Amino acid sequence: MLSNDIEVVGAIAALFWCGQRDVDGRWFIVDAAESFRAGPAEGGSLDVRALQRLELGQARLTGLRDYVEHTWPPFLRAFHDRALMGHVTLRTELEELKRSRRLQERVTKESILDLEHRDNVRAIVDTLGAKVSGLIFQDLLAYLLALAYDRVQINPVGVPDIEASEFLGNSVSDFVTPTLTREGSG
Report yes or no on 144 lying in a domain: yes
Least confident residue range of 5-19, 85-99, 130-144: 5-19
Report yes or no on 37 lying in a domain: yes
pLDDT at 9 over 90: no
pTM of the complete model: 0.80
Report yes or no on 185 lying in a domain: no
165 Cβ neighbours under 8 A, 6+ residues apart = 149, 150, 151, 180
Report yes or no on 6 lying in a domain: no
pLDDT at 88 over 90: yes
User: Which is higher by pLDDT, 115 or 19?
Assistant: 115
Q: Terminus-to-terminus CA distance in the chain, angstroms?
A: 16
Report yes or no on 3 lying in a domain: no
13-68 pLDDT tens trace: 888 888 888 888 999 888 776 666 544 444 566 788 888 888 888 888 888 888 89
Report yes or no on 1 lying in a domain: no
User: In this structure, is the dihedral angle defined by the CA atoms of residues 48, 83, 79 and 77, taken in order, positive or negative?
Assistant: negative
Overall domain count for the chain: 1
Q: Measured between alpha carbons, how far is 108 from 88 in angstroms, rounded to an integer?
A: 23
Mean pLDDT of the chain: 79
Return the SS3 of 23: coil
User: Which is higher by pLDDT, 172 or 109?
Assistant: 109
**Which of 31-45, 84-98, 159-173 is the most confident on average?**
84-98
pLDDT at 84 over 70: yes
User: Which is higher by pLDDT, 117 or 163?
Assistant: 117
pLDDT of residue 37: 58
User: In this structure, is the dihedral angle defined by the CA atoms of residues 144, 156, 52 and 26, taken in order, positive or negative?
Assistant: positive
Q: Domain containing 133: what range?
A: 11-175
pLDDT at 180 over 80: no
Q: What are phi and psi of 102, to 5 degrees?
A: -115, 10
